[in-house]
Structure 1
Amino acid sequence: MNSMLVTLVLLLLLGFAYQTGWSRSSRLAQVEGRLHSKPIYHGALVAIWAIVPALLILGLWALFGTATANTRFRTLTSAVVLASAFGTGAIGLYLARNRISARFRARNEVERIIRYLLIGCSVVAILTTLGIVLSLLGEALRFFTFVSPVDFFFGTVWNPRFSSVGTGSGDFGLLPLLWGTVMIATIAILVALPIGLMTAVYLTQYAKPKTRNIIKPMIEVLAGIPTIVYGFFALVTVGPALAGLGAMFGLDIRATSALTAGIVMGVMIIPFISSLSDDVIRQVPRALRDGSLGLGATESETIRRVILPAALPGIVGAVLLAVSRAIGETMIVVLAAGNSPYLRLNPGEPVSTVTVTIVNQLTGDTDFSSPQSLVAFALGLTLFAMTLVLNIAALFIVRRYREQYE
């Protein structure tokens, strides 16, 4: 079925139905006087009654329609389905048009439909989350039939040995990957927190409105840059620069290392901390600031002793959200961390993370019934649990802050 033709028919049906409902209610208003609902609601309701049956028929055809090699028969079937969709839409239009009257509560019905639509979208989001969790959990349980959970969560050696397909042999210790993830995320936060927080303080307390309107969008552009660009930047620019800087001071810093990935990731999450902290600081009651200044405190003392302590719960929530973003990052660490799954305390050496290992275990021609592939689901479930805990903690802190000041 020609998608352009279907789209054109649906748009024509939608526009004609809306115009029919709007014009009929407008004429009725001239005769009867004031209507319960504005013509825009009558037009929207007629359009909904016309478009929903048509979409339902087309959706059923897309789900259950069978393809055929006979081009002529396929064309005929598509035409019949399209005509049926248009016909049912016309019937819905006719029925909805006849319901229009001076006291008809079109606005209430449109708002009810919108509410049901929003509920449906929420249900889809919830079911998607549940589907992801259940799929990860099912495959992770299959993995734990090959490898003991104790060996997985407390093992210190990562060596899955792909040659042992279909067996449980190999070392699947999580700790080297978890340590690399935590190390890189920590470096990222050490980079992003002072820069992001001081940027937020400057924008809220010192910058003029014109300056703020220029600087804040420029900072938030960092959040829109694709992470693959950050990874390439880390690989070809930041890594060699750090290696050269370390050589000047007699330090052995690899071009691909936890330090390289952490610094670039810290730059990436600066907008998360600065924007959220900016919003939080602006919500602090101005009476606190004015009272501090009225008692003789300087502006810097007011910021350090009044504003930041008052905004601290919200700032902590922003930091936790940024940490969860850093933990789940993939492309930067794939290119810049070195992919070396060993327990190392030196941030200047290569490491590996949970996300990089998931990519490695599911890349290429792999047997998805082997522990070497199933371990990716156990790693994904672990990562999901980590980010879920951080997000819940952040939301709890932010909610508590809002209850205090709103």
Structure 2
Amino acid sequence: MHYTTLILLLAILTSLAYQLGRRRSHTLVGGPTRVRQLHSLPSYYGFYTAIWCGLPALLVLGIWLIFEPNIITSLVVAELPEATRNLPEAELGLVINDIKNLAAGNIVSTKIGPAIQAAADHLQSLERTSAAALTVLILVLAMLGTSYAWRFISPELRARNRVEGVLKALLITSSTIAIFTTIGIVLSVLFEALRFFQQIPLSEFLFGLTWSPQMAIRADQVGSSGAFGSIPLFAGTLLISFIAMLVAVP
């Protein structure tokens, strides 16, 4: 089952779980007219059930999608001939790309040999098995979560507090990820800038009149000597801005 279809199916199950939780709260107090006997509004019981249905399944889906490609690739590589497995990393990567392209029905860059064809067939088999296992696991988790929440619902259940607690945890997690992502970006830019200015003097960058970035700064780069004067960049930016203002301002 395609991942998009699986997510849509999970969304449908989550919606059904919401309705089940909401109706369960009505049933426990004898109907919608007696909702005052509930600790929380009926919608919170629905959200509580929907969270138990969708959140664990989504977490498993995310973890599965993160680790599945590497695991499948490792299993495919393990079945390749020893001579192929011992290739340099770059060449082995090209072979793996050819196997993936062949399995997906795309054009490959080399002649298809028996080993490559067998590896592509193995890859397709593993992907089908993985997709089937993931589908079953997600559906089972969704149903178990719904069943657990449905049985746990009672008039005394503080559904609103629990739902708001989950939302608060999600917001804190999202904020934390955003903060660490920003820190990572800043550190990455700062680290690369320091490496750059170890090779190029700051005065040359600020006052140089030629911009020709062809110099190899790292060991894995190939390039000739270059010039990194930033004045042409600033001048070009100002010129483009001036022309744009001439067109836009009137």
For the aligned pair, the TM-score class normalised by the smaller chain equals: 0.5 to 0.7
Which of 25, 35, 40 is residue 37 of structure 1 equivalent to?
40
Is the Cα–Cα contact under 8 Å of residues 146 and 168 in structure 1 kept in the other structure? no
2: distance between equivalents of 1:157 and 1:20? 70
1:261 partner letter: A
Aligned residues: 192
2: distance between equivalents of 1:72 and 1:168? 47
Look up the match of 1:60: 63
2: distance between equivalents of 1:171 and 1:86? 59
2: distance between equivalents of 1:93 and 1:112? 18
1: distance between equivalents of 2:55 and 2:158? 20
Q: CA RMSD for the aligned pairs? A: 2.7
Which of 131, 149, 152 is residue 78 of structure 1 equivalent to?
131
2: distance between equivalents of 1:108 and 1:46? 13
Is the Cα–Cα contact under 8 Å of residues 22 and 40 in structure 1 kept in the other structure? yes
Mapped pair 1:177 → 2:199: no
SS of equivalent to 1:107: helix
Mapped pair 1:147 → 2:150: no
1:34 partner letter: Q
Look up the match of 2:170: 117
How much has 1:90 moved relative to structure 2? Answer: 1.7
1: distance between equivalents of 2:137 and 2:213? 58
2: distance between equivalents of 1:159 and 1:73? 50
1:223-260 alpha-carbon deviations (Å, 9 max, x no partner): xxxxxxxxxxxxxxxxxxxxxxxxxxxxxxxxxx5531
Map 1:119-134 → 2, pairs under 5 A: 119-134=172-187
How much has 1:102 moved relative to structure 2? Answer: 1.2
Map 1:260-279 → 2, pairs under 5 A: 260-264=243-247
Change (3 A) 1:108 1:161: closer
Is the Cα–Cα contact under 8 Å of residues 58 and 82 in structure 1 kept in the other structure? no
Is the Cα–Cα contact under 8 Å of residues 147 and 168 in structure 1 kept in the other structure? no
Is the Cα–Cα contact under 8 Å of residues 210 and 232 in structure 2 kept in the other structure? yes
2: distance between equivalents of 1:130 and 1:108? 33
1: distance between equivalents of 2:60 and 2:170? 19
Change (3 A) 1:161 1:118: closer
Change (3 A) 1:159 1:79: closer
Which of 43, 48, 51 is residue 51 of structure 2 equivalent to?
48
TM-score (norm 2): 0.66
Deviates more, 1:70-79 or 1:97-106: 70-79
1:15-64 alpha-carbon deviations (Å, 9 max, x no partner): 22111111100112327752110110001011101111111221121111
Change (3 A) 1:127 1:262: farther
Look up the match of 2:209: 157
How much has 1:84 moved relative to structure 2? Answer: 1.3
Look up the match of 2:188: 135
2:229 partner letter: G
Mapped pair 1:2 → 2:54: no
Is the Cα–Cα contact under 8 Å of residues 50 and 88 in structure 1 kept in the other structure? yes
Structure 1: gaps of 5 or more residues: 185-256, 268-406
SS of equivalent to 1:103: coil
Is the Cα–Cα contact under 8 Å of residues 10 and 142 in structure 2 kept in the other structure? no
1: distance between equivalents of 2:213 and 2:161? 63
Map 1:247-266 → 2, pairs under 5 A: 258-264=241-247
1: distance between equivalents of 2:12 and 2:54? 10
Identity %: 36
TM-score (norm 1): 0.42
How much has 1:143 moved relative to structure 2? Answer: 1.0
2: distance between equivalents of 1:88 and 1:116? 21
How much has 1:125 moved relative to structure 2? Answer: 2.4
Structure 2: gaps of 5 or more residues: 77-120, 218-222
Look up the match of 1:346: none
Is the Cα–Cα contact under 8 Å of residues 45 and 160 in structure 2 kept in the other structure? yes
Change (3 A) 1:80 1:171: closer
Structure of greater relative contact order (alpha carbons < 8 Å, 6+ residues apart): 2
